[in-house]
Structure 1
Amino acid sequence: MEYFRNEDNNIDFMVACMQFINIVVHSEENMNFRVYLQYEFTQLGLDSYLEKLTVTESERLQVQIQAYLDNVFDVGAMLEDAEAKNTIMEHLEELQEQNTQLNTRLQQCESEAVEKTSELEKQLIQSRKEVELLKDSVKETQAQLSQLQQKEKEREIYSEKEQERERERQRSAEALSELEKMAQVLLDRGLIRMDRSQSGSLELHIMPAANITDNSITEIKASPVMQSPPPPPAPAPPPPPPPPPPMSVAPPPSPVPGRTGSVQTGVKGKKPIKTKYRMPLLNWQALMEEQVAGTVFTELDDESVLGELNMDVFEELFKTKAQSAPVDVGTLKVKAAHKASSKIALLEPNRAKNLAITLRKVGMSTAQICTAIQTYNLDLLNSDFLELLERFIPSDYELRLIEKYEREGRPLQELSEEDRFMVAFSKIPRLAQRISTLTFMGNFSESILLIKPQLNAIIAASMSIKSSSKLKKILEIILAFGNYMNSEKRGSAYGFRLQSLDLLLDMKSTDRKLTLLHFIVSIIQEKYPQLHNFHTELHCLDKAALVSQDSILADVRSLEKGMEVVRREYLQQKDSAVLTNFMSSNGSLLDSVVKDSKTAEEVFHSVVEYFGEDPKSTPPSVFFPVFARFIKAYKLAEQENEQRRKRISETDLGSDLHIPDSPVNTAVSNRMPVMPGFPQVDLIAELKRRQMTPLVREGRDGAIEDIITDLRNQPYIRADGGRRSAKWKPAQQLPVSSDISL
């Protein structure tokens, strides 16, 4: 240090001294010894002397001094870091515990939400059924009302006709009475004479005109009413019977719309689409016109979507360029070896050994076990023990051996503990039925807890998919793009299979940098922003995808059969309080699960058929993952599109490296400003990363001469990269020339 302080005019010597001090102090692997050496140099006045050298003009010396200061250990700062680390670790443990609790609570809330959603969906289904019944009732009532109104009109018409006939009869009676009066007047005056014929009819004879006096003629002329009396009318015929109701009063009911002599689908014909370029074919599984009846595709109008979009950009990006592994399923056949009993005994040796192990596990006496079985005591008999015990129900051969042993009068004390248990075990009446009943009762609650969430997930997922308007619009957009690409060669499709959604990632643009899904996502973000969160309308897809419908329905049927066994056992032993309580508390619960299973099956079949699939070949494990994969791919495409946009903006704003766009890309970018990005952006980003790659130099073991030779180009920097001493403030750091790399 004395030479270092005194030789202040020899810059090379001072640089070499700083290199030596830096290497001696900071090349030591033992940190304690390194701190000791650092403290020794501080005691010799190195730190104070380095403060005086801050004004030196030698860049070489400045670099060596700065390298030493960067390598200095600040024990106080490291202690603060250690204490802060302990505090942070404690806080981290608290956060992890809180996170665990929150995850548990979140799962509970999710289960409650699924259950509530399923319950609401079931209420909605029931309400819809009631609405349909009410509609049918209203239609029937309207039909009856129409019939009553028709009959009332007919009755009014008939009444009017009756009144008209009555008035006609009154007029006829009045005319007849007037004629009789006139005839009597003429008869009194001698103008006419009435005689009765042999048949009994009345004959009227008009007297000759010579017998009529002038006075009589005058009186007749004076009466205008009797000027020319008409001949008396014939007796009125009886009124005709009332006519039948007219058939043309009410028009016949109009035919139901959409039903004619031939079956119609209600889908308008598809026109072929002419494209400017030849487009690649989207190998989807298309649905023809007769296959889309009653599906979601009858509600979609892809032609209106094409009318809203400018497809020139799509053609530029996707113009032509031209795309199965058998799964071998092996089976493993396990053959259980059946060892024939080589000697006569109550129990075969291996069976007796296994029974002994089972009895030791439960830790109960034979009498306790048999009493618990007879009284259906599930507090003493857990489900696992019952399942093990079910394997030791005596066979017919063992029962014959026991019967023979007792018939011979041999004492039971000569038998082993396992044989004595088997003798007592076989004496329990209806042993197999009791064990089966106990096993079912013990597993019932757990089975319900496993089955009910799965049924709720299927109901909630099925109803949410079927009722999602945003999902329908997205399918409409996909149908429009698929028909735009395929129409010219394959004709327009009326729908497509859901598995075709996976092909959107396989269809790539001409430069192979963009998929059809990425383009559709960018179109939705620009033209239909309200659809970007369509996945929020779809619930419980992941849970429903894990459900095996055949398995869950088999479990429900198994519960029904088990409950029937319990009922038969209850009829055999009605005085059992355990069976009575079980039946009363769990019968309605099982009915609810059975009803939910039927609802789940109905709504799942309905939604599968609604999307044009076959329920027999499309279980939940196939149907729901299609939508889950599509949502995952859609979100990933959104993220990648956003990353491309950021790279474009960074390239436009801060990059000195400029790669001119091709004429096609320039035209495309002018027509569509919100595109995901272009190939040169990746090249620019790669070049920038290579430019910014830092040069890292680490110390290595070797001769001191090699180290010093290497340090002529750059100073020694310790490999552990410790924290800089806190006592050296940024203002105290020596300036370093920008052309020297540390």
Structure 2
Amino acid sequence: MVGMSPNKGWMGAPWGGVWDPPPYDVAPPSPRHPTVKVKKPIQTKFRMPVFNWVALKPSQIDGTVFTELNDEKVLQELDMSDFEEQFKTKAQGPAVDISALKVKATQKAPSKVTLMESNRAKNLAITLRKGGRSVQDICTAIETYDQQALSLDFLELLLRFLPTEYERTLIGKFEREQQPLEELSDEDQFMIRFSKIPRLAERMNVMIFLGNFSDTAQLLMPQLNAIIAASMSLKSSSKLRNILEIVLAFGNYMNSSKRGAAYGFRLQSLDALLEMKSTDRKQTLLHYLVRVITEKYPELTGFHTELHFLDKAGTVSLDSVLQDVRSLQQGMELTRKEFMRQDDSPVLKDFLKVNTEVMEKLQADSKTAKEAYESAVEYFGENPKTSPPTTFFPMFMRFIRAYKKAEQDIELWKKQEAAAKEAESSPPGSQDQPELPIQKAKRQQMDMIAELKKKQMVKEPLIYEGKDGAIEDIISALKTVPFTARTGKRSSRLFCDVSFNEESPL
């Protein structure tokens, strides 16, 4: 211990034995101060708040005023009951009989009967409060499939508290012993009544199924329809087939002498049409194909109008949709079985009457969607197992966007060429022709450069033009990059030119 000599301690006394504990009412002696009487803890009738002081140890009061004080004498002189009443902590019951406590402390408190684990019971209590209904009302609503009485969210929460086998065993033991129900908590009493509902799990699942069916069906149908429409339109498009034929012809023309002739290609190869550029780097292979199609096969332009709902189908997880349909079918079968067991339920009877046809259509559409999709994927040389809709349809969407962008580029180039030829044919100094936007922007840029150069000749230049035309680059960047005041940031487009083959949205 701190302050002890090395050869002394509680486990090793100077004589080699065990250190004897101090007397009950006397503190351990210290060589620096006299013996201090040990103070016994005070038992109050009420729980009192904690007074946050910094207490001194017996070894710290030697030579201080505290050696002259006797607080126990003060407590004997005063009636502390009024103090306790005014300073006790809140939410306490009546005063505790200290003598009675001492008697009870020697007796073992009777154990309270519990049927549920404490955390599970606590969570059930929270769930029941959310329901806002009595135990009897909840159980009656489940027995009669009353969806108006219990919300779907509450049912899904309550499903977590189906009685376990162990809880059912405890309930059976409690009932055999004929113990008073009042000894149980509200949660345990609910669990006993809850467990008495016939086919409880089946009823709960049926109620949740009834509540979810309509919304789920309305969510699944459009997704199935998108897959069907997109798959069938791709497979039936004659214009798309002819365009792929042209791509195959150009690919073989370039590759057959080196790699041999190809009889087909993977759809991802369509992306490569944007990567191959002409010798002068001014156009891509796709631009050239668009020119050929426009001039030689004009009937193929607008081929994308034959394709439908590719964007929507490209967001569908077909496997998940088909699984959801199977889950609905299982729920419908469970509902039919419950109805067969009690055909007097008007709720189940009305539900089956209204929704059986809906379920049959969902099943038929899911089968059609699966067959149509697999047929389309295989038709274009892909594998349905490795090409989900989220991969398959976007390949066509990218090609369509790139094709439209190439058409726009070619149209713009034609206008620029026509304007340039017209400018060359015009007499010098002619003011009759209107100035094109590009020409106007270039003229304004040159005027600004000339003005800056003129100012640099008057005073010390702040920006040096240098060999690479720094002024022109800065002005071009300011015109290219969006300007936002006081942000201190500029778009990364400052360092990369926008390529003419950039895709534009559909």
- Name the TM-score class by shorter chain: 0.5 to 0.7
* Aligned residue among 392, 396, 412 for 1:643: 412
Cα gap change, 1:431 to 1:348, in 2 (>3 Å): same
The two structures have a TM-score, normalised by structure 1, of 0.43
Contact map agreement 2:114 2:188 (CA 8 A) in 1: no
Q: What corresponds to 1:563 in structure 2?
A: 332
How has the CA–CA distance of structure 1 residues 352 and 654 changed in structure 2, closer, same or farther, with 3 Å as cutoff?
farther
Sort the Cα spacing of 1:686 and 1:523 in 2 relative to 1 into closer, same or farther, 3 A: farther
Residues 1:490 and 2:256 are matched in the alignment: no
Corresponding residue pairs, total: 333
State the distance in 1 between where 2:291 and 2:447 align: 32
Q: 1:488 to 1:589 in 2, by over 3 A?
A: same
- Secondary structure in 2 matching 1:495: coil
> Structure 2 vs 1, CA of residues 566 and 495 (structure 1 numbering), >3 Å: closer, same or farther?
same
Which whole-Å deviations, capped at 9, do the CAs of 1:681-714 have from their partners, x for residues lacking one?
A: xx989855632659999xxxxxxxxxxxxxxxxx
Work out whether residues 547 and 621 of structure 1, in 8 Å CA contact, stay in contact via their aligned partners in 2.
yes
In the alignment, is residue 356 of structure 1 matched against residue 125 of structure 2?
yes
Is residue 408 of structure 1 aligned with residue 177 of structure 2? yes
Output aligned runs, 1:242-391, within 5 Å. Answer: 345-391=114-160
Q: Is 2:187 aligned against 1:448?
A: no
Q: Which residue of 2 aligns with 1:537?
A: 306
**Equivalent position SS for 1:456:** helix
Q: 1:371 to 1:581 in 2, by over 3 A?
A: same
Q: Please give the per-residue CA displacement for 1:492-535, whole angstroms capped at 9, x wherever unaligned.
A: 21111111111111111123231111211222222222322111
Change in CA separation of 1:379 and 1:401 when aligned onto 2, cut-off 3 Å: same
In 1, Cα distance between the equivalents of 2:443 and 2:162?
77
Q: C-alpha distance in 1, partners of 2:364/2:160?
A: 33
**Residue identity in the other structure for 2:134:** S
Residue 505 (structure 1) aligned with residue 274 (structure 2): yes
Matched residue SS, 1:475: helix
Deviation at residue 575 of structure 1 after TM alignment: 1.2
1:405 positional shift = 2.1
Query: Which residue identity is paired with 2:182?
Result: Q
What is the Cα deviation at residue 624 of structure 1? 0.9
1:623 to partner: Cα distance: 1.2
Q: CA deviation at 1:373?
A: 0.5
Task: Look up the equivalent residue of 2:158 and give its one-letter code.
Answer: L
Residues 37-82 of structure 1 deviation map (CA, whole Å, 9 limit, x = unaligned): xxxxxxxxxxxxxxxxxxxxxxxxxxxxxxxxxxxxxxxxxxxxxx
* 1:391 to partner: Cα distance: 0.5
* Pairing of 1:465-480 with structure 2 (within 5 A): 465-480=234-249
The amino acid that maps onto 2:420 is: T
Change (3 A) 1:651 1:579: same
| Equivalent residues of 1:548, 1:620 under 8 A apart | yes
With over 3 angstroms needed to count, the CA separation of the structure-2 counterparts of 1:476 and 1:344, relative to structure 1, is farther
State the AA in 2 paired with 1:691.
Answer: M
Shift of 1:655: 7.3
Matched to 2:263, the amino acid is Y
Does 1:419 find its partner at 2:188?
yes
Per-residue Cα deviation, 1:624-657 (whole angstroms, up to 9, x for no partner): 1111111111112222222222332333334799
Q: Does 1:630 align with 2:399?
A: yes
1:690 aligned residue: 445
On the 8 A contact 1:651/1:684 being kept in 2, the answer is: no
Question: Aligned in 2, Cα 1:349/1:482: closer, same or farther, shift over 3 Å?
Answer: same
Matched position secondary structure for 1:507: coil
CA contact (8 A) 1:570 1:580 kept: yes
- CA change 1:595–1:384 in 2 (3 A) is same
Alignment correspondent of 1:45: none
Contact 2:113 2:183 in 1 (8 A): no
**Distance in structure 2 (CA, Å) of the matches to 1:696 and 1:529:** 51
Map 1:74-89 → 2, pairs under 5 A: none
Which residue of structure 2 lines up, in the alignment, with residue 619 of structure 1?
Answer: 388
Tell me if the contact between 1:463 and 1:607 (Cα under 8 Å) persists in the aligned partners: yes
Query: Residues 426 and 655 (structure 1 numbering): CA distance in 2 closer, same or farther, change over 3 Å?
Result: farther
Q: 1:409 to 1:505 in 2, by over 3 A?
A: same
Closer, same or farther in 2 for the Cα pair 1:609/1:692, shift >3 Å? farther
Q: Structure 1 474/414 Cα, relative in aligned 2: closer, same or farther at 3 Å? A: same
**Distance in 2 between residues matched to 1:557 and 1:539, nearest whole Å:** 27
* Larger RCO (alpha carbons 8 Å, 6+ apart): 1
* Alignment-derived partner of residue 396 in structure 1: 165
1:496–1:692 CA distance, 2 compared to 1 (3 A):
farther
Identical amino acids, percent of aligned pairs:
59
- Secondary structure of 2:245's partner? helix
- 1:523 and 1:380 map into 2 onto residues whose CA distance is 69
- Indicate the structure (1 or 2) with the bigger Cα radius of gyration: 1
Q: 4+ residue runs of structure 1 moved beyond 4 angstroms?
A: 683-689, 692-697
2:165 corresponds to 1:433: no
Alpha-carbon RMSD? 2.8
Ranges in structure 2 where 5+ consecutive residues have no aligned partner: 1-111, 427-437, 453-506
Aligned to 1:282: none
- The amino acid that maps onto 1:402 is I
Query: C-alpha displacement at 1:429, in angstroms?
Result: 0.7
Looking at structure 2, the residues matched to 684 and 510 of structure 1 have their Cα atoms a distance apart, in angstroms, of: 27
Moved more, 512-521 or 536-545: 512-521
Contact 2:113 2:184 in 1 (8 A): no
Relative to structure 1, the CA distance from residue 550 to residue 693 in structure 2 (aligned partners, 3 Å threshold; closer, same or farther) is farther
Residue 613 of structure 1 aligns with an amino acid whose one-letter code is E
Tell me: CA distance 1:695–1:407, structure 2 relative to 1, closer, same or farther (3 Å).
Answer: farther
Q: Which position in structure 2 is the counterpart of 1:459? A: 228
